């Protein structure tokens, strides 16, 4: 029996390459307590995250550099991701990979984070809003020994609510 490798880059998937999300502001400003949980979970107690004396260069305590990447929490309007946990194939991850971008509708079950390229400018501080602009830079398929793999390349730009650049990233998500 011959096996045909499916092409997951359908016209519907092709149509979202280059799609840009409108600027999206995180629901709430950066909070000291979430910064604390974040740097403690990183096992990184650098004084710039908590000590006013040691953070003068930054204008006061700051969040770890990559913190803005994780501030786009579920809003009250969005469905509860845990509501689907009774489905045995549900992996807990929304296929809408960024707020404001359309989901990548590829029927591959496993999602892995392939890596990042970061350019870093400034830490976010408690009280500041975070604004994200995202774009699907590319979506493509490679057929490996273990089957088809779809790569989703996302460009993200993070700024403060006042328009100050925080960081830029290029993130590759792998679906297989």
Q: List interacting residues with another protein (CB under 8 A).
A: 34, 37-38, 40-44, 46-48, 51, 53-54, 56-58, 64-66, 69-70, 73-74, 81-82, 85, 88-93, 109-122, 164-165, 172
Considering beta carbons, is residue 16 or 58 the nearer one to another protein?
Answer: 58
Q: How far is the CB of 68 from another protein (least distance, A)?
A: 12
User: Closest CB to another protein among 19 and 60?
Assistant: 60
In this complex, which beta carbon is closest to another protein, that of residue 62 or of residue 139? 62
CB of 130 to another protein, least distance (A): 14
Closest separation between CB of residue 77 and another protein, Å?
16
Which 3-state string (H, E, C) describes the chain? CCCCCCCCCCHHHHCCCCCECCCEECCCCCCHHHHHHHHHHCCCCCHHHCCCHHHHHHCCCCCCCCHHHHCCCCCCCCCCHHHHCCCCCCCCCCCCCCCCCCCCCCCCCCEEEEEEEEEECCCCCCCCCEEEEEEEEEEEEEEECCEEEEEEEEEEEEEECCCCEEEEEEEEEEEC
- Of 19 and 170, the one with the shorter C-beta distance to another protein is 170
State the minimum distance, in angstroms, from the CB of residue 59 to another protein.
9
């Amino acid at each position: 029996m011959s096996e045909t490798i499916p092409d997951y880059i359908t016209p519907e998937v092709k149509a979202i390459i280059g799609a840009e999300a409108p600027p999206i502001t995180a629901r709430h400003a950066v909070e000291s307590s979430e910064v604390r949980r974040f740097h403690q979970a990183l096992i990184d107690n650098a004084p710039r995250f908590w000590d006013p004396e040691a953070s003068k260069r930054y204008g006061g305590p700051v969040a770890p550099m990559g913190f803005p990447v994780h501030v786009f929490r579920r809003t009250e309007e969005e469905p509860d991701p845990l509501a689907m946990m009774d489905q045995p194939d549900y992996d807990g991850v929304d296929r809408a990979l960024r707020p404001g971008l359309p989901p990548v509708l590829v029927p591959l079950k496993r999602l892995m984070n392939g890596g990042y390229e970061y350019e870093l400018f400034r830490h976010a501080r408690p009280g500041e809003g975070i604004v994200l602009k995202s774009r699907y830079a590319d979506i493509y398929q490679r057929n490996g020994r273990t089957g088809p793999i779809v790569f989703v390349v996302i460009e993200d730009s993070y700024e403060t609510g006042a328009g100050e650049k925080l960081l830029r990233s290029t993130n590759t998500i792998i679906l297989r």
